[in-house]
Structure 1
Amino acid sequence: MESNGEFDRTQCNGSIPPSLGNCSKLRELGAGYNNLSGAIDGTHITNLGDLVTLDLGWNSFSGKIPASIGQLKKLEELHLAYNNMSGELPSALSNCTNLITIDLKSNHFSGKLTKVNFSNLPNLRILDLWLNNFTGEVPESIYSCSNLIALRLSSNNLHGQLSSRIGNLKYLSFLSLGKNNFTNITNALQILKSSKNLTTLLMGHNFMGEILSHDETIDGFGNLQFLDIQGCNFSGRIPVWISRATNLQMLVLCDNRLTGPIPGWITSLSNLFYMDVSSNNLTGEIPSTLMEMPMLKSTDNATHLDSTVFELPVYNGPALQYRVFTSFPAVLNLSNNSFTGVIPAQIGQLKVLAVLDFSFNKLSGQIPQSVCDLTNLQVLDLSSNNLTGTIPAALNRLHYLSAFNISNNDLEGPIPPGGQFDTFQNSSFNENPKLCGSMLTHKCDSASIPPLSTKTRHKKGLFVIAFGVFFGGIAVLLLLGRFIVLIRINGITTRDRRENNGDVEATSFYSSSEQTLVVMRMPQGKTEENKLKFADILKATNNFDKENIIGCGGYGLVYKAELPDGSKLAIKKLNGDMCLMEREFSAEVDALSMAQHDNLVPLWGYCIQGNSRFLVYSYMENGSLDDWLHNRYDDASSFLDWPTRLKIAKGASLGLSYIHDVCKPQIVHRDIKSSNILLDKEFKAYVADFGLARLILPDRTHVTTELVGTMGYIPPEYGQAWVATLRGDMYSFGVVLLELLTGRRPVTVLSTSKELVPWVLQMRSEGKQTEVLDPTLRGRGYEEQMLKVLETACKCVDNNQFRRPAISDVVSSLASVEADP
C-alpha cells in the first residue's frame, strides 16, 4: 500500500507524470524544491482522494489551481509557494474542509479572495498569500476561521479598512498586512488591541500620509513582540501607546515623517533590542536614557529574550529570512533625522549592538572613545554629521566590523592602520579634508602619527630581532618588499585563469598590494603554475564587503569569493593580533593543509597581508548543518529527512575520525558544532575549522569562549580545566547527533527551558526516548534507526569522559545503521 510520495530535492524536472493518478491510496505527495514545470492537471488529482499533504512548492509550475482540488476532502496541507502559478483561486477550495495550512506565497495569483468561502475551513491555522496580485477587500469569511494563528496578506493590492470581526481570531499571533492599500490606522489599532495573543504585527507601507494615532485609549498590545509600521509617511510623534507593549523586542518606525524627540519612556521597553526610527524628522539630542536599554547592554540580559518561533518566517529582502526573534541582530538606527548634540559617552555600554547607524544627522563633537568597547559591532555609520576630532585608534580592534563610514564630517588626523580598517574603501572617509592616510591623497607626516605604545614597541622589537637572527640582512629587503602570498593546493582541479585579472578600484588599504601574487599550484603531476593576484580576491569579495559575509565566529569573519572563472572560495579573515608570527603561522598552515579527507573542508592555503591573515577554503553551496536544522525555510518540504541526516552524521564522523586517528600529530578540533559541519550541494558533510587553535597565540585564548568551544557543546570537564581533549570532541559530537535526532538547539534562549543534553538524558531515563525524536521525522518508519543513533549519542555525552566511546567506535556504530526503513 502506498502512503507517501517523497521527491523533495531530488532534482526532478518535467511535469507530474499521469501515472501518479493511479496512486489512489497516496496520503502525502512531497515534490518541493525541484525543477518541475507545466500546469497541474486536475484529472490526475481527482483520484487522490486520501491525500492529506500536497507539497509542490519551490518549482516552476504555471497555470491555475484546478477546480478538481475540491475533491480532496481529506487535504490538510496545501503548499504551492514559489511557483509561477496565476489566475483566481477556485471556489472549490472551500470544499477542502479539513485544510490546516494554505501556503500560496510568491506566485502570480490574482482576483478577489471573496471567491473562496473561508468559513467552510474551520481548522485553518495558517494562511500565507504573500507576494501575489490579489485585489479587493479582505473577505469577511476569513474571520470565521477561529483557529487561525498566522495570516499573511502582505505585498498584494488589497484595500479598505480592517474589519472589527478580526477580533474573532482569538488565537491570532502573526499578522502581516504590509505593502497593500489599507486605510484608517486609528481604526486598525483600536480593532487589533483586542487580539490579546498577537506577537507579530507587520503593517508597513499602508495608511499613506495619515497621522499616527496618539489615542490614549489604545492599549492591549501586552504580548506584542514585533511592531513594523514603516514606510507609511505617517506624521505626528512617536505615540505613547507603544510604551504599553511591554514585551516589545523589535520596533520599526522608519521611513515616515514623525517629529519631536525620542520619548524618555523608550527604556521602559526592557526587552527591546532592535530599534529603527531612521528617515523621519525626529529632533533633539540623543537621550542618554537610550544608552540604558537592558537588552543592548549585556549578553546576560539577552539570554532571557523570548525564543518564540515566528509562525511564518519574516523576510528581510529577497535573501534573508528569520524564524526566531533572536536571529535578528541588535540594531540601533537613528539615521536620516535631525538629531543634534554629541554622541553620548555612555554609548560604550551597549555591548550587544551589532549595527549602530547615526548617519545623516546634525551631531557634533568627537567620536567617543567608548565606541571602541562595542566589540560585537558589525556596522558603524556616523557619516554626514558635523563630527570633529580624531578617529579613535582602538576602533581597529573591532574584529567583526565589516561596514564603516565616517564620510562627510570634519574629522582630522591619521586613519587607524590594521584590523578591519585594512578592508574599508576610500569612500568611507571622503569629505574629511583634515584626515590623512597612506591610501588618501593627503599622506600623514610624522607629527600626525601617534607614538606606539610600550607594548606595541616591545612586540615590534621582538619581531625585528627574530628576523635579524634568522634572516639577517635579507629580512630588511623582505620588509621593504611586498609579501608573497602562497596558496598550496594539492589535488584540486582548477580552471586556467587569465593572466590579466583586472585591477580593483584603488579605494582600499590593500591597493598598494594589488600586484601581490597568489601562486596557485596545479593538481599533482603538473608543474605549470597559475598566477592569481591578491587584487582578484579583493574583487571577488567586493573589498570584503559585508554582503559577502557567510559566517563569523571566535576566529573571525568568513567571506564568499567568486572568481572571474566562476569558481567559488570561502575566505576566512583571521584576527591578526591573535595569530602566530608569520613564520610559525605559515608552518602551521602548511601542516594543516596536509590534512586531506573527503569529509574535511579543504584548506587550500593562506595569505599574509600586513597584519591580516587569510585562510582559503572550498566554498560549500548548502551552508551549515545549523542553518538547515534551526533557521532555514518555513514549510515541510524544507526539513532534512532522516536518510539525509544519517548521511550527514556518518560523513561528519569520518572527518572527525581522520583528524583524531590518522593525522600525526592528532588534531583536537576544540569546537565541534552544527555550524562547523558544512554541506555541499549533495548534502555531503564536511568538518570545518579543524586545527585553527594552532594558529592562535597561547595567551590569546581568553578572547572568546569560542576558541575553546561553544555554549551547549562544551563538555562538563572543561569547566574544571580548559584543556581540550579528544574525549571533549566526542562530547561535542554527541550533542550534534542529538541535534540531528531532535531538531532542537543545544541551548535554548529561554532560561526556564532545559538544555538539550540533560533533557534527553532525563527523558531516556524515564523510558520516553521516542518522545525526544524530531516530530517531523516520526511516523516515517525510521524510529528504530533513530533510537540506535540515540544510544550512540547518549554514550558520547556521558558526564564521565572516560566512558565516552572513541570516534572509531562511533563510526562503526553509525555504519551499522542502514538508511532504508
Structure 2
Amino acid sequence: MPSSVSISLVIYVWITTIIIINHASTTVAKPQSSSLAQELKALNQTHWWWYEKITSSPCKWDGIVCNDGGSVIEININNTEYHPQLYLSDFNFSSFPNLVRFKLAGICLYGRIPPEIGSVSKLTHLNLSWSSLSGELPLSLAKLTQLEKLDISFNQMSGPIPLELGNLRSLVELYLGGNYFNGTIPSTLGLLTCLTYLDLHSNQINGTIPSELYNLKNLMALHFDNNNLFGPISSKIGNLKNVVSLSLSHNLLIGPLPHTLGCLTNLTLLSLDSNQISGPIPLEIGNMRKLRLLDLHNNILTGLIPSTLGNLTKLDFLNLGVNNLVGEIPPYVGHLTNLRYLDIHSNQINGSINSTMRDLQSMQKLDLSNNSISGILPHELTQLTRLEYLNLSLNKLSGEILPNIDNLSSLSVLDLSHNNLSGSIPIQLRNCRILGQLFLSYNRFSGTVPPEVFYPYNLTIVDLSHNSFSGTIPPEVFYSYNLTIVDLSHNSFSGNIPLELGYCKNFGHLDLSFNTLTGHIPSTFFFQCQINLSYNYLEGHIPDGFWGYNTLTSVMGNKNLCSDHIPGIPHCSTWIKKFSNLIKIILAPVILGFLLLGVGIVFLSRRKVIRNNQNECKATRNGNLFSIWNYDGNIAFEDIIIATEDFDIKYCIGTGGYGSVYKATLPSGKVIALKKLHRLEAQEPAFDKSFRNEAKVLSEVHPRLSPHINQTIAQNVVLVVTLALACLRSNPKSRPTMKHVSQEILVRKPPLLKPFYEISMWELMNQEVFGDPSSVGAVDKAIHTGKTTLALTNYLKGVDY
C-alpha cells in the first residue's frame, strides 16, 4: 500500500510540473513573438530593404544581425547602391529594444536625429558619420548610458554641444568633427574618464580649452583643430601622458609653448600650426622621441631652431615655416635620416645650406624659400635622389645651376626664382623626366634657352621671366601637350613667334611681353587663353580669335599692330591706305622713271637703224640728253649739236617772227635748215599760233623739199610725252598706275587725234588720258620751267623743220 501511494504521488507531481512549465512557456512566447513582429513591421516601413520579401525573416537581410532569439541587435548599412537616399525619421527606434549597434556611416542619410533614439537603452555603438544629417543633437542621447562609441562626424549638425553628454560615463570614443557646432566646449566632457578619443575638429567652437579635459588621463587622441579656440595652452597639458596625437592647429591660441609638452613622451603627432603662438621652441621638445610629425608653421615663434630637434630621429614630417626663426640651419638636421618633409620657408634663416643635408636620403620635399640663405648651391643637394619638390626661391643664392641636377630624377617641382643665380640652363635638366613645374624667374640667367629644357613631357608651368635670355624662342617649349602656363616676359628674346605655339591646346596663360619679338602674330594660335604680347616689335593684323580671352593691354606697346574691330588700335584699312599713299609718294617717281625708260627702249626699237658709235650723250648748255628723229629717222640730236657747234651764231642764217633758223651740214653730207624755238616764246599764245601756221605752210610745200616727220612717229611722241606729264601730276590720286601705263602703251591709242601742228603744250599737259578730268589739276611748276620741258617743247615744235 505505501508503495502504491508513493508512486501515485510521484506521478501527480510530474504531471503538475509539466502543466506549469507549458503554461509558463506559452505566456513568454506570446510577447516574444509580438516583439519580433513589431521589428519586422518597423523595418518594412523604412523601405530601406525594398528588394527583400517582406514576409521573410529580417535576420537574413543585408546589414542586419539578430540574436539567438531572432531579435535585431545590429543594423549596419554601408552600401549606397541599394540605398540612394534614407531618412532617419523613417526608423522607429522604439521597436528595437535589443538594438546594440546602429551603423549607417557613409550613406545618404537625411533629416534630424529623432528624440526617440534615447529609447534604445542597450545601444553601445552609434555611427551616423559622413551623411547629411542636420539640426541639433537631441538631449535624449544622454539616456544612452551604455554607449561606448558616438560618431556623428562630417554631417551638417549645428547648435551647441549638450552638457548632458557628460552623463555618458561609458563613452570611450566621441567624434563630432566636421559639423557646424558652435558655443564652447562643455566642461562636463571632463567627466568621461573612460574617453580615449575626443575629436571636435572643423566646427565653429570658441572659447578656451576647459581645464577639466586635462584630467582625461586615458586620452590618446585630442583633436580640436580648425575651430575658433583662443587663449594660451595650459601647462596642465603635460598630464595627458598617454596622448599619442595632439592637434590644436588653425585656432587663435596665443602665448608660448609650455615646457610641459616634453612630458608627452608617447606623442607621435603634434600639430599646433596656424595659431598665434609666440616665443622660442622649448628645448624639452626633444624629449618626444616617438614623434613622427611636428608642425609648428604659421605662428610667431622666435629664436633659434633648438639643437634638441636632432633627438627626434623618427621624425618624418617637420614644418617650421612662416615664423620668425633666426640663425643658420643647424647641422644636426642631418641626423633626421627618416625625414621626408622639411619646410622652414618664410623665416629669417641665414648662412649657407649645410652639407650635412646629404644624409637626408629619404627627403621628398624640401622648402627653404623666402629666407636670407646665401652662397652657392651645394653639390650635396643632388644626392637627394628621392627629392620630388625643391623650393629655394626668394633667397640670396648665387652661382650656377648644378650641372648634375639630373641626379634628381624624381623631381616634379623646381623653384629657384628670385635669387642671384647666373649662367645658362644646363641641358641635363632634360633628364628630369617627370618635371612638371619649373620656376627660374628673377635671376641673372643669360644666353639662349636650350631646347632640351622642355623635353620633360609632364611640364605644366614654365616661368623664365625677368632674366637676360636672348635668341629665338625655341619651338620645343610648345611641344609639351600638358603646358598650361608659360612666362618668358622681360627677357631679350628676338625673332618671330614660333608657329608651333598652335600645338598647345591647353594653355591658360602665355606671357611673351617685354622682349624684342618681331613679325606677325601667327594665325595658328589657339586663343582660348590669356596671351600677353605687349611691348615687342610685332606688326600686321591681329587675328580675330585673339580677343576672346584678351584685352587691349595684351598688345599695347606694339606700334605696328592693327585691327579692324577693336577700339584703341589703328584700323588695318586706314593703316594700309596711309602706307600705300606713302609708297606712292616716295616710290612712284622712281618706278615711273624705270617705266618710261622701258617705253623709250620699246619705242626706239622700232627705228630702222641706231648709230653704233654713239655710247654716251654729251651734256648741252640747256640740259638736253635725249635723241630726236628727222624726216628719215637717221639724224641724231648730237649730230645737230656738232654740226652747229651748239647753235653757234655763225650758223644762224636768219630770224623770223618765231624762233631762229640755223644751217647745219650733217656727217652724211646733207645740208638742212633748223629752227630753234625759245622757252619764253613757247609760253606766249601769239607765238604758239605763229608756230602752228608755219608748220601748216611747210606741210603743204613742194615735195622736192625735205619731207616733214611721219605722222605715226609724231603720234607716238605725243603719247609718250602725255604719259610722262600725267605721271608728274601734283595730286597723287590722279597719277596713273603702272597697270594703266602699260595698257595705254599696248593699245597705242593716241590721246590727241589732231594733226601734229595743231597740238599745243597746254593740251599735252592737261590732256585727260586716264579718267576723271577733275582730278587732273594743275601740273607742277617744274614742268613749265624745267630743262626737260624746254627740250620737249623744242623737239615737238621744231621737229618739222
TM-score (norm 2): 0.50
User: Bigger relative contact order, structure 1 or 2, given CA contacts below 8 A and separation 6+?
Assistant: 1
Larger Rg belongs to = 2
